[in-house]
Amino acid sequence: MSDAEDAADDAGTAPSVAIVGAGFTGLSTLHALAERGVDAVTYEATDEVGGVVKSREIGGKLLEVGPQRLRMTDAIRAMVTDLDIADEVLTADDDLPLFVYADGDLREVPRSLSAFRRTDLLSTRGKLRLLAEPLTDPIDPAESAQDAFVRKFGTEAYTNLIAPLFGGTYGSDPAEMPAKHALKPMMGLESRKGSLLRAALSRLVFSGEETPPAASFESGLQRLPKALADEYAGRLNRETPVTGIERAGSGADSVWLVHTEDDTQRVDHVVLTTPADTTADIVEGVDAESAAALREFNYNPLVLVHLESRARAEGFGYQVRRTEPMRTLGVTWNSSLFDRDGVYTAFLGGMHDPDAIERDDETLGGTAAEEFKRVMGVDAEVLHVERMPRAFPAWDDSWAASERVDLPEGITLATNYTGRMGLPSRVREARRLAGELSNSVGE
CB closer to ligand FAD out of 423 and 433: 423
Q: How far is the CB of 404 from ligand FAD (least distance, A)?
A: 21
For position 350 contacting ligand FAD by CB under 6 A, the verdict is: no
Closest CA to 242 of 225, 262, 228: 262
Segment near ligand FAD (CB under 6 A); pick from 116-124, 192-200, 338-346, 416-424: 416-424
Does 23 sit near ligand FAD (CB under 6 A)?
yes
Q: Do residues 138 and 293 make contact, with C-beta atoms less than 8 angstroms apart?
A: no
CB of 180 to ligand FAD, least distance (A): 20
- Distance between CA atoms of residues 271 and 62, nearest Å: 32
Q: How many residues does the chain have?
A: 443
Stretch binding ligand FAD (CB under 6 A), from 160-168, 203-211, 311-319, 419-427:
419-427
Q: Tell which positions 70-99 bind ligand FAD, by CB under 6 A.
A: 70
Min CB(23)–ligand FAD separation in Å: 2
Q: Site residues for ligand FAD, window 279-308 (CB under 6 A)?
A: 302
CA distance 400 to 392: 17
Counting contacts by CB under 6 A, is residue 167 touching ligand FAD? no
Q: Tell me the C-alpha distance between 220 and 176, whole Å.
A: 33
Least distance from ligand FAD to the Cβ atom of residue 150, Å: 26
**Does residue number 26 form part of the binding site for ligand FAD (CB under 6 A)?**
yes
Interaction between residue 278 and ligand FAD (CB under 6 A): yes
**Residue 419 contacts ligand FAD per CB under 6 A:** no
Contact call for residue 152 and ligand FAD (CB under 6 A): no
Query: Which residue among 8, 14, 18, 22 contacts ligand FAD (CB under 6 A)?
Result: 22
Q: Which of 24, 166, 333, 395 binds ligand FAD (CB under 6 A)?
A: 24
25 contacts ligand FAD (rule: CB under 6 A): yes
Contact 364/385 with Cβ under 8 angstroms?
A: yes
Helix axes 24-35, 223-231, angle to 10 degrees: 40
Q: Does 275 bind ligand FAD (CB under 6 A)?
A: yes
Smallest separation (angstroms) from ligand FAD to the CB of 28: 8
Q: Please name which of 151, 104, 67, 96 lies closest in space to residue 321, comparing C-alpha atoms.
A: 104
> For residue 239, is it left (φ>0), alpha (ψ between -120 and 50) or beta?
left
The Cα 279–Cα 19 span in angstroms is 12
- Using DSSP, how many helices (H) and how many strands (E) does the chain show? 17, 20
Residue number with CB closer to ligand FAD (382 or 388): 388
Residue type, 66: G
Q: Which is nearer to ligand FAD, 157 or 356 (CB)?
A: 356
Site for ligand FAD contains 102 (CB under 6 A) = no
- How many alpha carbons fall within 13 Å on the CB side of residue 90? 17
> In sequence order, what DSSP letters do the residues of 183-239 get, joined into one string?
THHHHHHHHHHSSHHHHHHIIIIIS-PPPPPEEEETT-TTHHHHHHHHHTGGGEETT
| Closest distance of CB 58 from ligand FAD, Å | 16
* Phi and psi angles of residue 131, each rounded to the nearest 5 degrees, phi first: -70, -15
353 contributes a contact to ligand FAD by CB under 6 A: no
List residues binding ligand FAD (CB under 6 A). 20-26, 43-46, 51-53, 66-70, 241-242, 273-275, 278, 302, 388, 391-392, 415-416, 421-423, 426
